[in-house]
């Protein structure tokens, strides 16, 4: 809060497409999709209409013993898209992580393997900030203070291509990290329930990208040693990395890579809070029992909220109504061209679908905040992570938006180095 003495809050009155407008009418291009949730722009007519329509029918009913059309339709569509045919709903990403971790542990317990209680994640990973999710998160600023409260989890070397040695290819480095993972798992698998991983892009690590090869190796290792693989696609799901789900770049279907997938953020196009954990028939079956304690127990008041499910269905409908992924390829190519023209001290220019990132070489320790403030002056919402500047915009960018995004980013960096 004290930082706001220097960086006053920006009061936003309305949004339209990729733009936010403050109470004085000044516009800011939302280059981070309001923390990665907005897919098709602000004030999106199809999503808005679906929520209004649902509001006239049913705002909410508990899912214990009840059901409703939006939650059934959404579950069926998500099953078709992923090959994972069972869904558990909550309202936020951290809850999805908690649910997947609990379900994995409980599966092994129901299977007579109660020693499999530990979890693995990658160094610099981010899976949310409730206590269970924080234990598998490895971002010091979020974890250090609360470490005494947390369960221990091991963090494996991150395949982040920036960490490759000079002359080492991204693939060779990812393979080396997979070897390290395999050695650890071979030694500890009797205690391990699951590996949780952000497929292809570790967002909060600073848009760290790695090749699909690592996911393929991780899957094979998990299968060999009886561990679940939890794909945390909370940030990268719904087209963000160029395919509907990032896992599809490692195998034809999500279900070929993951036992669980966690979805949230873009699932409602950035309109309402919703998350889902999808899993397989095989895992579902482990909980199908007359004894209540063998069932999966996780009570959540707003589970399957009809308004949020309708927003999600409307969001999915936009992927079939328009050639979204093909159009995003053009947009991404244009963003890449703009970045190629930047005459600044940049390293590690990288892109995966609609995530474009680079690292700025600067000795200003306050670069991230200064760049954020400079961008605001230029009509741009940019949130650098350390020295990493990234673009993760809504999918509705116009040519004029792209030109503004590039020009304002360039100016903001120049003013804050
Ligand atoms: C944002 C995020 C979460 C947490 O989601 P919340 O809704 O903020 O709790 C978890 N995992 C990843 C990869 C995320 O980007």
Residue 91 to residue 312: CA distance in whole angstroms: 12
C-beta of 203 in contact with ligand 1 (< 6 A): yes
Do 229 and 243 have their domain in common?
A: yes
C-beta of 232 in contact with ligand 1 (< 6 A): yes
CATH number assigned to the domain comprising residue 182:
3.40.640.10
pLDDT tens digit string along 54-86? 999 999 999 999 999 999 999 999 999 999 999
Instruction: Please report whether residue 307 resides in a domain.
Output: yes
Do 248 and 131 have their domain in common?
A: yes
C-beta of 98 in contact with ligand 1 (< 6 A): no
Domain that holds residue 94: 49-321
Residue 36 CA to ligand 1 center (angstroms) comes to 9
User: Atom 8, ligand 1: which residue's CA is nearest?
Assistant: 93
Do 403 and 299 have their domain in common?
A: no
Ligand 1, pocket-test mutation among 37, 235, 275, 302, most atoms within 8 A of CB: 235
User: Atom 10, ligand 1: which residue's CA is nearest?
Assistant: 127
Q: Which atom of ligand 1 is nearest to the CA of 93?
A: 5
C-beta of 413 in contact with ligand 1 (< 6 A): no
Instruction: Please report whether residue 344 resides in a domain.
Output: yes
Last residue of a domain, one of 283, 301, 321: 321
Do 272 and 407 have their domain in common?
A: no
Q: Which atom of ligand 1 is nearest to the CA of 233?
A: 13
Instruction: Please report whether residue 205 resides in a domain.
Output: yes
Mean pLDDT of 250-260: 98
Last residue of a domain, one of 321, 346, 378: 321
Instruction: Please report whether residue 35 resides in a domain.
Output: no
Residue 18 CA to ligand 1 center (angstroms) comes to 22
User: What's the full length of the chain, in residues?
Assistant: 417
- Has residue 303 got a pLDDT over 90? yes
Residue 57 CA to ligand 1 center (angstroms) comes to 30
Do 128 and 112 have their domain in common?
A: yes
Q: Which atom of ligand 1 is nearest to the CA of 97?
A: 10
CATH number assigned to the domain comprising residue 370:
3.90.1150.10
Do 110 and 216 have their domain in common?
A: yes
Do 87 and 206 have their domain in common?
A: yes
C-beta of 212 in contact with ligand 1 (< 6 A): no
pLDDT tens digit string along 258-284? 999 999 999 999 999 999 999 999 999
Instruction: Please report whether residue 36 resides in a domain.
Output: no
Do 300 and 399 have their domain in common?
A: no
C-beta of 32 in contact with ligand 1 (< 6 A): no
- Has residue 152 got a pLDDT over 90? no
Residue 74 CA to ligand 1 center (angstroms) comes to 21
Phi, psi of 393, rounded to the nearest 5 degrees: -80, 165
For residues 54 and 307, the answer to whether their CB atoms sit within 8 Å is yes
Average pLDDT, the chain: 97
Among the ranges given (149-153, 203-207, 238-242), the one the predictor scored with the smallest mean pLDDT: 149-153
pLDDT tens digit string along 154-211? 999 999 999 999 999 999 999 999 999 999 999 999 999 999 999 999 999 999 999 9
For residues 203 and 127, the answer to whether their CB atoms sit within 8 Å is no
Instruction: Please report whether residue 192 resides in a domain.
Output: yes
Rg of the Cα trace of the chain?
Answer: 21
C-beta of 128 in contact with ligand 1 (< 6 A): yes
Do 273 and 360 have their domain in common?
A: no
C-beta of 233 in contact with ligand 1 (< 6 A): no
Do 265 and 126 have their domain in common?
A: yes
- Has residue 9 got a pLDDT over 90? yes
Considering its fold, how many domains does the chain have in total?
2
Do 307 and 384 have their domain in common?
A: no
DSSP 13-60: EEEEBTEEEETT--EEEETTHHHHT-SS-BS-HHHHHHHHHHHTT-S-
Do 353 and 264 have their domain in common?
A: no
């Amino acid at each position: 809060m004290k930082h706001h003495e220097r960086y006053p809050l920006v009061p936003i009155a309305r949004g339209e497409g990729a733009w936010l407008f403050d109470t004085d009418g000044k516009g800011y291009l939302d280059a981070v999709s309001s923390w990665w949730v907005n897919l098709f722009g602000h004030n999106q007519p199809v999503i808005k209409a679906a929520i209004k329509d649902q509001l006239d029918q049913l705002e909410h009913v508990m899912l214990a013993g009840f059901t409703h059309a939006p939650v059934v339709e959404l579950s069926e569509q998500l099953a078709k898209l992923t090959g994972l045919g069972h869904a558990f709903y909550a309202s936020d990403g951290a809850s999805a992580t908690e649910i997947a971790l609990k379900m994995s542990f409980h599966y092994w317990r129901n299977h007579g393997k109660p020693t499999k209680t530990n979890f693995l994640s990658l160094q610099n990973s981010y899976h949310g900030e409730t206590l269970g999710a924080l234990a598998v998160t490895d971002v010091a600023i979020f974890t250090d203070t609360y470490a005494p409260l947390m369960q221990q989890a091991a963090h494996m070397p991150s395949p982040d291509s920036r960490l490759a040695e000079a002359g080492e290819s991204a693939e060779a480095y990812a393979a080396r990290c997979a070897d390290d993972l395999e050695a650890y798992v071979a030694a500890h698998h009797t205690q391990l329930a699951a590996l949780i991983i952000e497929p292809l892009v570790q967002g909060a690590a600073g848009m760290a990208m790695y090749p699909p090869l690592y996911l393929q190796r991780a899957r094979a290792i998990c299968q060999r040693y009886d561990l679940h693989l939890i794909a945390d696609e909370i940030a990268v799901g719904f087209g963000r990395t160029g395919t509907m789900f990032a896992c599809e770049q490692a195998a034809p279907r999500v279900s070929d890579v993951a036992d669980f997938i966690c979805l949230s953020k873009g699932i409602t196009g950035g309109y309402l809070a919703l998350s889902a954990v999808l899993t397989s028939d095989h895992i579902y079956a482990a909980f199908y029992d007359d004894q209540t304690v063998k069932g999966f127990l996780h009570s959540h008041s707003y589970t399957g909220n009809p308004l949020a499910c309708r927003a999600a269905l409307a969001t999915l409908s936009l992927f079939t109504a328009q050639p979204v992924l093909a159009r995003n390829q053009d947009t991404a190519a244009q963003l890449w061209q703009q970045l190629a023209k930047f005459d600044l001290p940049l390293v590690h220019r990288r892109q995966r679908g609609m995530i474009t990132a680079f690292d700025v070489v600067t000795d200003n320790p306050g670069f991230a905040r200064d760049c954020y403030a400079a961008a605001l002056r230029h009509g741009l919402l940019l949130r650098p992570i350390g020295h990493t500047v990234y673009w993760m915009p809504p999918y509705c960018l116009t040519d004029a938006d792209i030109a503004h995004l590039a020009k304002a980013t360039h100016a903001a960096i120049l003013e804050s180095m």
